[in-house]
Structure 1
């Protein structure tokens, strides 16, 4: 099968949940003998990237980055010029998704569109509401609706988003879950016992809440250390905080397992998620997670078993659970072991790739 895998941000170059998912699918399909052409923007670091024989990475000229999240790169001419059995696009909100839909309007191919969250945002802070109002009331009703309507099959990594996709766009999405590379992300020798956040440094990720959580934890545990992996518009604010925060910026994805293993707890205070990759990677490494009850996070982090769930914006409850885990080694080990088992049993890429190829054939 000749497959075009379109991801505006490519996992190993610029780690995001959807980009990592696209990369892992493309790599594993290529290893099975399929001819996979991955199209992405120039955003990120592509140096020293090793790819399997049948995976062809094609980095497109990128003209700008809209709202610090949407690379403007045009895949339309290539899709009109070349033939693919399946064109699989990750997320509906990107310019590359729109140009794929335009190509489908002009040419017959199997167009598969994958949602990666961003539909449910009822808990979002008012400070993020302007962009979301534009998305909901302008983009989703015009270009977004057309991008979804032209798809031959719509997929979602989040169960929670399926009724919302139906309500917003009038289509039935098929659930194929997010996944984690359990061969790479696994428990190992522990190093420093830090409290770790992985993700974009933006308001909708709850980063301002994160600072308050860190302050409360520091009040209870004076020698607590924190690390932040990622970048974004609030990076300077985090750097200037009067807290012992190690700011890592972006780290190559192959180095991430070691970062989780150097953590006692991971934390995700988001106001909006689909099926968060960072929680899955943390649990696969045997590190319990304290996260907000949004999107499919409750499917991933089992409250009281592999971590704790809190309501978005709840600083005191989040800090209390982190302190509890930091001070109780046996609880932390038990939750880490349960989290690892849950990832192995339900979120391996082996099962997801099999389901994805079947979805292609049924399109």
Structure 2
């Protein structure tokens, strides 16, 4: 588990808060940074069962589930593939955390088809095995609406928290700006994400679009500064610096809140998200956002008050201009952001998750445990090849007994 990744941060926050509520929490993962501070037990799968690296091997999964650390688990929370498929062998109740998957048209054809097969196998096979005590935790209403209609009754929407990075005070904000060459009267625009000029692994995050917009953004006013924060190679960081932007590579977790607070505006160009932590992280520091009105963005911002949500690329620069040229508007939106984001707290997330876990266990104990021979499957037709547009991945889904 590496906290630079969104899902890992979610697991960490939920685990530590559930542990704080008095539960015995064990996190099993493929890899981990054992130096991170934590209150829960963290175990690497290959250390629990030596040689366990194929997380799709049914025999290896069963050996793991019989191990001392796993055999007495009362309920499982599964966050990502390939672990979703473990429901086939787990006897205890299972809660699937549904993060969603980007649509195929945002990738090349090969990647699009691969993602489509994974997602529809997940819907058909994993959700086809749902039992009375199992549940789905959708990270946004948008994600819940992407689930097959037949399984939405299993779903509960639970938003992430926003308070995992400490709120920075004014002195920290000013010092961060000074250390990076941003003057008191300068306007700092922050963009957060992975930076890859070539072989962009997350094209939907909008880095290539940002590169195209940079010259126009710089012309919005003379004293504008642009900072890009995230994972980046030394070569790409040097290239960005030559383009006149501030590069903030691999910022430690303890400084993330300060980076958001130091900015005057967060620019987010993602074309798809299941939730979008960056938007709530920015609002938690009082920094207004400009983002596309896609997916869950209207759920995790207060449109028009804490964020300006735009419909297309042509609206990005006008939205930015309205903020960078109006300090009073930024101040007003800061107040709205701080008020709106109060609802996004990890403590409340954990309490709601605890309630869901208790309900699932009660249903499992009170209901009949269907034998595997009675499990239903979502029968999803899988095409033999991807079409050229990469957008034809909307199959008819039928709910049928095996």
TM-score range, shorter chain: 0.7 to 0.9
Cα 1:41–1:252 shift into 2, 3 Å: farther
1:306 Cα deviation from its structure 2 partner: 0.4
Among 140, 158, 165, the alignment partner of 1:158 is 140
Aligned to 1:66: none
8 Å CA contact 1:187–1:286 kept in 2: the answer is: no
**In structure 1, how many angstroms separate the alpha carbons of the residues matched to 2:36 and 2:237?**
30
8 Å CA contact 1:187–1:285 kept in 2: the answer is: no
The SS at the match of 2:120 is: coil
**In structure 2, how many angstroms separate the alpha carbons of the residues matched to 1:279 and 1:238?**
24
1:359 Cα deviation from its structure 2 partner: 0.5
Among 40, 44, 48, the alignment partner of 1:59 is 44
- Aligned length, in residue pairs: 326
Q: Is 1:349 the counterpart of 2:346 in the alignment?
A: yes
Q: Is 1:33 the counterpart of 2:22 in the alignment?
A: yes
* Unpaired runs of at least 5, structure 2: 48-52, 178-186, 196-201, 361-402
Q: Is 1:178 the counterpart of 2:164 in the alignment?
A: no
Bigger radius of gyration, 1 or 2?
Answer: 2
The SS at the match of 1:322 is: helix
TM-score normalised per structure 1: 0.80
Cα 1:73–1:107 shift into 2, 3 Å: closer
**In structure 1, how many angstroms separate the alpha carbons of the residues matched to 2:156 and 2:277?**
19
* Unpaired runs of at least 5, structure 1: 1-9, 63-70
Deviation per CA, 1:68-102: give whole Å up to 9, x if none: xxx976783433322211111113xx22333xx2x
8 Å CA contact 1:148–1:154 kept in 2: the answer is: no
1:112 Cα deviation from its structure 2 partner: 0.7
1:311 Cα deviation from its structure 2 partner: 2.4
Using CA pairs under 8 Å that are at least 6 residues apart, name the structure with larger relative contact order, 1 or 2: 2
Aligned to 2:250: 250
Among 13, 16, 22, the alignment partner of 2:5 is 16
More moved, 187-196 vs 275-284: 187-196
Aligned to 1:108: 91
1:90-101 to 2 correspondence within 5 Å? Answer: 90-91=79-80, 94-98=81-85, 101=86
1:147 Cα deviation from its structure 2 partner: 2.7
TM-score normalised per structure 2: 0.73
Deviation per CA, 1:18-67: give whole Å up to 9, x if none: 22121111111111221111122326xx2642112xx01113449xxxxx
**In structure 2, how many angstroms separate the alpha carbons of the residues matched to 1:274 and 1:143?**
16
Aligned to 2:65: 79
Aligned to 1:149: 128
8 Å CA contact 1:17–1:276 kept in 2: the answer is: no
Aligned to 1:273: 273
Aligned to 1:303: 303
RMSD of the alignment, in Å?
A: 2.8
Cα 1:186–1:255 shift into 2, 3 Å: closer
**In structure 1, how many angstroms separate the alpha carbons of the residues matched to 2:122 and 2:301?**
34
Cα 1:140–1:48 shift into 2, 3 Å: closer
**In structure 1, how many angstroms separate the alpha carbons of the residues matched to 2:189 and 2:310?**
17
**In structure 2, how many angstroms separate the alpha carbons of the residues matched to 1:79 and 1:289?**
44
Cα 1:330–1:58 shift into 2, 3 Å: same
Q: Is 1:139 the counterpart of 2:118 in the alignment?
A: yes
The SS at the match of 2:137 is: strand
8 Å CA contact 1:184–1:257 kept in 2: the answer is: yes
Q: Is 1:49 the counterpart of 2:36 in the alignment?
A: yes
1:114 Cα deviation from its structure 2 partner: 0.5
8 Å CA contact 1:117–1:295 kept in 2: the answer is: no
